[in-house]
Structure 1
Amino acid sequence: MQLEIYTPERKSFRGEVYGVRLPGIDGSFEVMEKHAPMVAALVPGQMKVLNDKTHFSFYNIKGGFIEVLNNQVTVLVEGAEPTSIEK
């Protein structure tokens, strides 16, 4: 699926991924390929990007929103900083 991460300043990431785990207002949730369409609010926390089945990357994000539609995931957040440490 295609993932795009946007902040007010720039596009932080765009690429094909296996899945993504995000901090939602009711707790963490995952979006995988062929996920149903949805829009959800995000809280500050860590986003885990599953680059493939065995490799991950992490971003510390500020609050925002996610939209999932037709295997396209768009993350709109106030800030997103790459990190190599899982929290």
Structure 2
Amino acid sequence: MNLEILTPDKKIFEGEVSSVTVPGTMGSFQILKDHAPIISTLEDGAVVIKGSGNDTTFNIKGGVVEVLNNKIIVLAEGVI
């Protein structure tokens, strides 16, 4: 899957990942390969990225996530 994390200022992350956990408004949820298309609002919290052997975490300040055809776009208001 391809993940992009964007803020109004810059691109924070772009790359291939195996899973992503995001802080949804109704609770955190995980996005895996072939996830159903979704658009969801995000709260302040951690975006946990699992890739090839290493995990990365970004703390975001709210935003929106879109998942479509194994492409994930996180539009964050900011990164803390």
* Percent sequence identity over aligned pairs: 45
User: For residues 55 and 15 of structure 1, what CA distance do their matches in structure 2 show?
Assistant: 13
User: For residues 48 and 26 of structure 1, what CA distance do their matches in structure 2 show?
Assistant: 17
Where structure 1 has 5 or more consecutive residues not aligned to the other structure, the ranges are 82-87
Cα-Cα RMSD: 0.9
User: For residues 27 and 58 of structure 1, what CA distance do their matches in structure 2 show?
Assistant: 17
State how 1:71-86 maps to structure 2 within 5 Å: 71-81=70-80
Moved runs in structure 1, 4+ residues, more than 2 A? none
User: For residues 8 and 22 of structure 1, what CA distance do their matches in structure 2 show?
Assistant: 19
Provide TM-score, normalisation by structure 1: 0.88
Where structure 2 has 5 or more consecutive residues not aligned to the other structure, the ranges are none
Provide TM-score, normalisation by structure 2: 0.95
User: For residues 58 and 20 of structure 2, what CA distance do their matches in structure 1 show?
Assistant: 11
